[in-house]
């Protein structure tokens, strides 16, 4: 342990601790912009580029960045001297002088860390007359929007993309004032290997990276009396949406969310968790077939479009591995425009399906040419948790003051197995609950596969299926996925089933979730809430969902059959149907 003093207070911390971390132990808040702590995945970004965390250290001539300065025995630190406060304010002024003055119209306004810090430090910068950075805005993607003029060179996005996710879609070009973070050769994002996981969006302190919004299109559809507008909501949304209305992280607002959506004017309010249960039936059938034949193993889950993009770019030789099942979002959309449309007597061409997702990549997925049936798109618009909160506030709806309501039937019925799709390991755990009973013919009494749960790294287990044992793994975060896939390719490791989620922690940490100041605590709370819903659900196995049973009995036929295949499966890697998105 190393003992030092900060503003006259003594503190002892382990060797290797930074001044910033030591100050946190004393409950002192040193401001940061570029610093990024990801305790759950054991990663810290310490590029020290913004210089707003500078402090005085006795015996040193220059101010030191607290985020990147390790403590030493006897160190004396001052965080609030005139020199320190003046330097912080000057650094903020320099950053702001090259920043667009568009706070009133910026989608990150009121949640922008630069804006908040400027207010806290009473920075007053008049509109500058000098040279300013000017770059082309990037509208090329259906998922992401880049405004390089709002970039403050904190390098968080670069760190997340390159170090954590190992995608490598962003890098810095140039030096000094002309520096810009962009894809290779300053191309548009659509021409890069970006997988649209959205983790860059979740850590960007300003509005330089945001999700492509379909809020206006959704409002237009709701106001169009010739359309039937149906909404579906992903499992992870219900444990995060409340944060936008003052609820603590992890508060379960399922009933209030359903009520709020109905007040917005949607003709039907469904639960994507129904689609998750449906995914388990189809994907479980694939798993059983491959495992029984001992062919084409391991099978990889296919629910996450960011992950599917990753394997397409970096492991094209493994394109045969993923399941062919569509994601729950797309399955639910396909069933709404077929099964539900038939029950209601609606023309599928008049139905607009809106999905509420925790994910940026879902916007991209919904736009793909291969995600349609008979020329009719499965999902028309995908909006994020943050964007739903925006719509509710625009509609004068406060979740705190409305009574709870249920989802509509029949696509509102779900199980705990579908709910846990929202957390890392949940898809695999849900699949195993069904696969076990289908293979062994026995009732699975303990449905909790706890060994597969968690945010950090890979979680493995060996499952006894009677006469056969299978080895499975659940991985979240693309950096972790790369490690496990490399072992599979080299033959170092062998698995039968692998779940991979692009975002560390799974969908609870999607790029479309509410921005989290205390990221690690928030993720833990969301994950605990997901499993609490599952634990208290009366039905915890997808194949026991009565509406799923009725769907197959009256409409789809056998799991994996001809009709199910036409509606619920997709060729993920067929270039002839991938196409390119055109910005409207």
Could you read off the pLDDT of 267-287 as tens digits, one per residue? 999 999 999 999 999 999 999
Residues 139, 423: Cα–Cα separation, whole Å: 30
Contact 280, 477 (CB under 8 A): no
pLDDT of 43 higher than 70? no
Could you read off the pLDDT of 109-133 as tens digits, one per residue? 989 999 999 998 888 776 666 777 7
Residues 283, 275: Cα–Cα separation, whole Å: 12
CA dihedral 196, 200, 206, 208 (to 10 degrees): -50
Contact 352, 230 (CB under 8 A): yes
Looking at residues 157-177, what average pLDDT do you find? 88
Residues 545, 410: Cα–Cα separation, whole Å: 11
Q: How many CA atoms lie within 13 A of 154 on its CB side?
A: 28
Could you read off the pLDDT of 410-452 as tens digits, one per residue? 999 999 999 999 999 999 999 999 999 999 999 999 999 999 9
Residues 97, 529: Cα–Cα separation, whole Å: 43
Q: Which domains does the chain have, with CATH numbers?
A: 2-96 (3.10.20.740), 98-211 (3.30.70.20), 215-578 (3.40.50.1780)
Q: How many CA atoms lie within 13 A of 200 on its CB side?
A: 37
Say how many C-beta atoms besides its own lie within 10 A of residue 482's C-beta: 18
In Å, what is the CA distance from 120 to each residue of 51, 89, 279? 16, 10, 48
Predicted pLDDT of residue 579: 43
C-alpha radius of gyration, the chain, whole number: 25
Look at residue 498 and give its three-state secondary structure.
Answer: strand
pTM of the model: 0.91
Residues 273, 215: Cα–Cα separation, whole Å: 22
pLDDT of 262 higher than 90? yes
Looking at residues 470-479, what average pLDDT do you find? 95
Looking at residues 52-57, what average pLDDT do you find? 95
Residues 325, 567: Cα–Cα separation, whole Å: 10
Looking at residues 465-494, what average pLDDT do you find? 93
pLDDT of 581 higher than 50? no
Of the candidates 132, 64, 122, which has an alpha carbon nearest to the alpha carbon of residue 89?
122
Token representation of residue 186: 């300053």
Strands 144-146, 54-57: pairing is unpaired
In Å, what is the CA distance from 543 to each residue of 97, 270, 540, 569? 59, 19, 9, 18
Could you read off the pLDDT of 177-202 as tens digits, one per residue? 778 888 888 889 999 999 999 999 99
Q: What is the DSSP string of 115-147?
A: HHHHHHTT---PPP-S-------B---SSEEE-
Residues 30, 203: Cα–Cα separation, whole Å: 18
Mean per-residue pLDDT of the chain: 91
Of the candidates 486, 286, 329, which has an alpha carbon nearest to the alpha carbon of residue 422?
329
Residues 432, 181: Cα–Cα separation, whole Å: 43
Predicted pLDDT of residue 583: 36
- Cα-Cα-Cα-Cα dihedral sign, residues 188, 215, 301, 209: positive
Looking at residues 137-164, what average pLDDT do you find? 91
Place of tokens 């503190």: 11
Contact 418, 331 (CB under 8 A): no
Say how many C-beta atoms besides its own lie within 10 A of residue 177's C-beta: 9
Token representation of residue 286: 């694939």
Place of tokens 């539900």: 340
> 407: which DSSP letter?
P
Residues 310, 326: Cα–Cα separation, whole Å: 16
Q: What is the DSSP string of 21-76?
A: HHHHHTT-----SS-EEEGGGTEEE----S-TTEEEETT-SS-EEGGG-B--TT-E
Distance in angstroms between the alpha carbons of the first and the last residue of the chain: 58
Q: What is the DSSP string of 249-280?
A: TT---HHHHHHHHHHHT-SEEEEHHHHHHHHH
Exposed e or buried b per residue across 422-442, where buried means at least 16 C-beta atoms within 10 angstroms of its C-beta: bbbbbbbbbbbbbbbbbbeee
Peptide bond into 410 cis (omega under 30): yes
Could you read off the pLDDT of 498-518 as tens digits, one per residue? 999 999 999 999 999 999 888
Task: Give the list of residues 6+ apart from residue 69 with CB closer than 8 angstroms, or none.
Answer: 18, 19, 20, 55, 57
């Amino acid at each position: 342990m190393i003992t030092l003093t900060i503003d006259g207070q003594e503190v002892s911390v382990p060797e290797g601790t930074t001044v910033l971390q030591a100050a946190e132990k004393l409950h002192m808040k040193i401001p940061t912009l570029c610093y990024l702590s990801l305790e759950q995945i054991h990663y810290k970004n310490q590029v020290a580029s913004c210089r707003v965390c500078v402090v005085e250290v006795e015996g040193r001539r220059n101010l030191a960045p607290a985020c990147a300065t390790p403590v030493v025995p006897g160190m004396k630190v001052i965080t609030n001297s005139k020199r320190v406060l003046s330097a912080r304010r000057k650094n903020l002024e320099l950053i702001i002088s090259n920043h667009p003055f568009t706070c009133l119209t910026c989608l990150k306004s009121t949640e922008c860390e630069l804006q908040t810090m400027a207010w806290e430090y009473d920075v007053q910068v008049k509109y500058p007359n000098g040279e300013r950075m000017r770059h082309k805005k990037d509208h090329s993607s259906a998922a992401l929007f880049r405004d390089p003029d709002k970039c403050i060179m904190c390098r968080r996005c670069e760190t997340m993309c390159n170090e954590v996710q190992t995608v490598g879609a962003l890098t810095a070009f140039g030096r000094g004032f002309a520096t810009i973070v962009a894809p290779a050769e300053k191309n548009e994002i659509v021409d890069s290997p970006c997988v649209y996981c959205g983790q860059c969006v979740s850590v960007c302190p300003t509005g330089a990276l945001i999700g492509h919004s379909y809020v206006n299109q959704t409002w237009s559809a709701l106001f169009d009396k010739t359309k039937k507008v149906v909404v579906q909501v992903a499992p992870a949304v219900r444990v995060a949406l409340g944060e936008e209305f003052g609820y603590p992280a992890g508060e379960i607002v399922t009933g209030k969310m359903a009520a709020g959506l109905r007040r917005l004017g949607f003709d039907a309010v469904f639960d994507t968790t129904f689609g998750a249960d449906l995914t388990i039936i189809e994907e479980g059938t694939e798993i059983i077939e491959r495992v029984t034949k001992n062919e084409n193993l391991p099978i990889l889950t296919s629910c996450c479009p960011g992950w599917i993009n990753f394997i397409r770019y970096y492991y094209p030789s493994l394109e045969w591995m993923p399941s062919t099942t569509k994601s729950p979002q797309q399955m639910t959309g396909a069933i709404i425009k077929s099964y539900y449309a038939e029950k209601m007597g609606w023309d599928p061409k008049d139905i607009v399906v809106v999905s509420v997702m925790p994910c940026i990549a879902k916007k991209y997925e919904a736009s793909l040419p291969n995600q349609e049936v008979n020329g009719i798109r499965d999902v028309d618009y995908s909006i994020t948790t943050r964007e739903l909160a925006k719509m509710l506030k625009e509609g004068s709806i406060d979740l705190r003051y409305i009574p709870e309501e249920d989802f509509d039937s029949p696509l509102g019925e779900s199980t705990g197995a579908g709910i846990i799709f929202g957390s890392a390991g949940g898809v695999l755990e849900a699949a195993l609950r069904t696969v076990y009973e289908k293979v062994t013919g026995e009732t699975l009494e303990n449905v909790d596969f706890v060994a597969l749960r968690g945010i950090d790294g890979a979680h493995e287990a060996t499952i006894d299926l009677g006469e056969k044992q299978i080895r499975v793994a659940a991985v979240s975060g693309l950096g972790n996925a790369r490690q496990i896939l490399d072992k599979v390719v080299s033959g170092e490791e062998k698995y039968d089933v692998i779940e991979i989620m692009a975002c560390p922690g799974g969908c609870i940490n999607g790029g479309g979730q509410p921005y989290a100041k205390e990221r690690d605590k928030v993720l833990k709370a969301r994950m605990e809430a997901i499993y609490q819903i599952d634990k208290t659900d009366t039905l915890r196995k997808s194949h026991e969902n009565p509406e799923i049973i009725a769907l197959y009995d009256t409409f789809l036929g056998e799991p994996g059959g001809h009709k199910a295949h036409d509606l619920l499966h997709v060729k993920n890697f067929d270039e002839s149907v991938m196409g390119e998105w055109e910005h409207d």
